[in-house]
Amino acid sequence: MNQLYIHTFKTKWGIFRTAATTKSLVLVSMPGESQESFDDRIADRFPGFTIERGGEVNKLAEKEVTAYLNGKLRKFTVKFDIHAAPFQKKVLKYVARIPFGQVKSYGQIAAIVGCPRASRAVGTANARNNLPIIIPCHRVVGSNGIGGYGGGLELKRKLLRHEGVTNL
């Protein structure tokens, strides 16, 4: 039987929701996403899983996200699992390694992962990131501006300012 644990927690930035197996984080919702939308994503991505509240991985994710948002954590240690197509997984694995306070452009990432003309596909991979904040897709920007963000551009700017990036 496949088990998924869900958890909701409040931060000074808003309400976050997480989902995890016993071993790894698989889904994070950003402030502003409804419970219904979160539940729909779980049903779509994890059909047949038994759902329970709690979970040790979710507790660690809460602790780390809260510490990050409070300026006390720069690198996450919570284990995560990327559920994505191979190219998207390759992109997100790279994005997960972008250091706190640094940014890379969609084009730079496309070149790094071996597909220099795939900057739009890099954008799509970031848009489908199920683990925002943990996989810091807010650190991926356009070559001539901030680019997009599933949580909204104001939240992206706020996250970047939080990390000391002020030139966007």
Question: Over 80: is that where the pLDDT of 1 sits?
Answer: no
pLDDT value of position 150 = 85
Contacts of 122 (CB under 8 A, 6+ apart): 91, 106, 107, 109, 110, 113, 140
pLDDT value of position 168 = 76
pTM: 0.94
86-162, what's its fold? Arc Repressor Mutant, subunit A (1.10.10)
Question: Over 80: is that where the pLDDT of 9 sits?
Answer: yes
pLDDT value of position 96 = 98
pLDDT value of position 143 = 87
What's the rounded mean pLDDT across residues 100-112?
A: 97
3-69, what's its fold? Double Stranded RNA Binding Domain (3.30.160)
Contacts of 165 (CB under 8 A, 6+ apart): 101, 102, 103, 139
Measured distance CA(19)–CA(117) in Å, rounded = 34
User: In the chain, where are the structural domains located?
Assistant: 3-69, 86-162
For the annotated catalytic residues, the residue numbers are 137
pLDDT value of position 56 = 97
Per-residue pLDDT reduced to its tens digit, 113-165: 999 999 999 999 999 999 999 999 999 999 888 998 988 899 999 999 999 99
Tokens of 81: 């699992």
